[in-house]
Structures are given as C-alpha cells and as structure tokens.
Structure 1
Amino acid sequence: MSEHAFPPEQREAVYRVIAERRDMRHFCGGEVPADVLQRVLAAAHQAPSVGLMQPWRFVRITDETLRGRIHDLVREETERTAAALGERAAEFARLKVEGIAECAELVVVALTEDRERHVFGRRTMPHMDLASAACAIQNLWLAARAEGIGMGWVSLFEPAELAALLGFPAGAEPIAVLCLGPVEEFYPRPMLEDVGWTTARPLSELIAENGWPTTSPNA
C-alpha cells in the first residue's frame, strides 16, 4: 500500500460515489442550497485541464422564460433524434431524456471562445479542450452525488442555436445542459439499463495489452 493512500474509509467513499453516480432524469423540484451549488462548481473548476487552459464556462440559467426556450430546443432535437433512429424511434420517444422543467438548477457548460490560442497539449490533439471540460463535468457530477443532489447531462440540442440564444461570442461552444436538484431516489443502476435500451459492457471487454485487441468484443 502506498504511503500516500487515503485511509480505507475515505477510499471506500471515493469508490462508492463513483459507483453510485447516475445520469438523472427525474427531479422533484426544490432547490440546491447556495453553498452546495458553490461547492460542486468549485469541484468542477478543480478538474485537470491540458496546459492549465481551463476551457470551461458555467452559465447558470435563472430566468424561467430562458429555461423554457432551452427546453424547446431540446424537445426539437429529441424529435429529430427519434426520427433518425429508424425502427427504434417509438421506443426512444418513450424514454425520459431530460429533466429541464423539473430540476432545481439548470447550468449550461461551454467551451471558451479563446481556447484556440492554447497550443500546449492541443497541437496534435485539439480536442483536449473538450476532454478537459468533460473532466470538469465529471467532477461536478461526483460532487453532486456526494452532496445527495441529482444531476443529468443533456446533450440533445443544436450547439449553434443554444449559443445564439445565450449570446455567446463567436467561437464559444455549449457542450452540455446540466440539470441539478433534489431527487426522490437515485436509480439503482443506469436508467438506460433499467428500461431495456442497452446494457453496459464489462471492463474485461474493453482492456487490451500491447496493442488493439485482435478479436472484437461484439464478435
């Protein structure tokens, strides 16, 4: 055991919050206390970012009319996604894919307009700005779960339309609409498994050694 390891009970808490994190769609109104919201956003801001670029911006939506217009954008894209799914369209249409109307807090996460100036870490892999912002979102997710607050990541929207709605400068790009708030209970397992949409694959199928696996896990 490394001398730098946390005590057993603290390690167990870290692994527990990872295992019990859920992409929540069902909320029960209420509110997120200001100090809790500040803590989870601070956790997001502590995420690693390549070159310390910190390419994220968090836009809290407190205007109900604006929330409604974001909801409209998501509904429109949900309909387009259903149409694109072909034979699974009706099945998808029955899924609850967002909780914008019911959640206590709505936060839009965006990439900054000036991230192109960061060369460190992006010269060969320019998508590291997105990877860094995703780390921030995961931090927020885990912190919210530890606080007993549900969070759902909504990605069903046209980025350009949401950017225009929120008055983003040219080059800034929204990547997530986050629903946060109290929930009656956390799903015992991922919701898409519970409703039969898909099944998570085991880790053993996704690990290889010294190169790409010669046999596809789906074979």
Structure 2
Amino acid sequence: MDRREFIKATAASAAAATLGVNLWPGPGKAEAANGTTWHKSVCRFCGVGCGVMVGVKDGKVIGVKGDKENTINRGFVCVKGFYLHKVVTAKNRLLHPLIRKNGKLQQASWDEAMDLVASKFRETIDKYGPDAVAFYGSGQAETEETYIANKLFKGHIGTNNLEGNPRLCMASAVGGYLTSFGSDEPVGSYDDLDTAELFLIIGSNTAECHP
C-alpha cells in the first residue's frame, strides 16, 4: 500500500468513526457469506491496546476489524490497525533467518542460525564475561515474551544489561507527564473525548499516527 492509498484509507476510517459505522460486516454475516471465521486479539502497533477481530479463511489472515465488545476502542480501529493483516502477508516480510556470508545475507535454517548465535554468545562471554552481552527488546514484544528474555539474560547468562525500545521511546514523554501533571502517564481517559468541546493537537498527524 502506497502513501496515497494510506491517506484514502485514513479518510474512510475517519468518516466511518464519525458516522458510527463499521467498515467491516458483522461476524455472522461475514462467516455466512464466505466461510471466514473471526478471532479475538489485540492490536500490537502501539500501547493503546485496542481489541480487534482477526478474520481467517482457509488458514490465512484476510482482514482485521475492531472488537465491539472491547471497552478500550469499542469496535473502532485507527488506519494502522485497520491494515494490520497486511503485515502478515507482506511480500517483504522476513520469513527465514539470514546469515551474512562473504558480505551478503544468505538464507539459513533455524538450527544453523541459533547455533551461530549461541556460539558467538559463548565465545564473547568466555572472553569478556557475561556483562559483555546485552538484550534490547522490541516495543511490540508481549509481557510474556519479555519475561522469558529477562529469565534468560538475568537468570541464565547472569547480566542485568537489558533495555527495551518502549522505555527509551517514552522516556521524554514520561518526563513531560511528571513535570506537567505529577503522574508518569496521561491523567485523562479516552472516555473524556466523548464530552470534550475542544481538541488541541501538538506535534502529531492524526491522519497517519497511532493514538
């Protein structure tokens, strides 16, 4: 999807949200029409935690829509969440491990890739100690995944060198919240939007940014 398509989709999503309609048919109607089944999940694009329904047909993800039973987004999704299913089928999605050989990345098996990682870790730790290695986590990793990484690096390898994109990404925002409101997070609620008469948006493009 190019930028033009993205903007057009944003406009459609915004119009649907304003009118209170859903761009996707209801689960029952969709399943009856083409055999699609819908499964509850959570959008992982940002920290809002919107509930989504993932449409699956013939073992493939074909669409995403908001979960009307979710109390956070009440069935609505932003344009990024609306196209979440595109990530699964993207042509440039990495599907196999790649190892650089002779200056070029070459496809490798998982066993080969994991053996290489383990041997490099072992080599580095034996030579420089456990604090010579570190873990930098993804902002889209779930709590359970991050917990396992903590157990591996702190409990097994023996290092406290763990960092994550979420903390560094939000460090400046947290500082601003504490200074302005005395809390390390926004003091408002999404429910406040229903009664607000004025929206002041600074440094954000709501047509292309997540909430």
TM-score w.r.t. the length of structure 1 is 0.19
Q: Which one has the largest radius of gyration?
A: 2
Higher-RCO chain (CA-CA 8 Å, sequence separation at least 6): 1
TM-score w.r.t. the length of structure 2 is 0.20
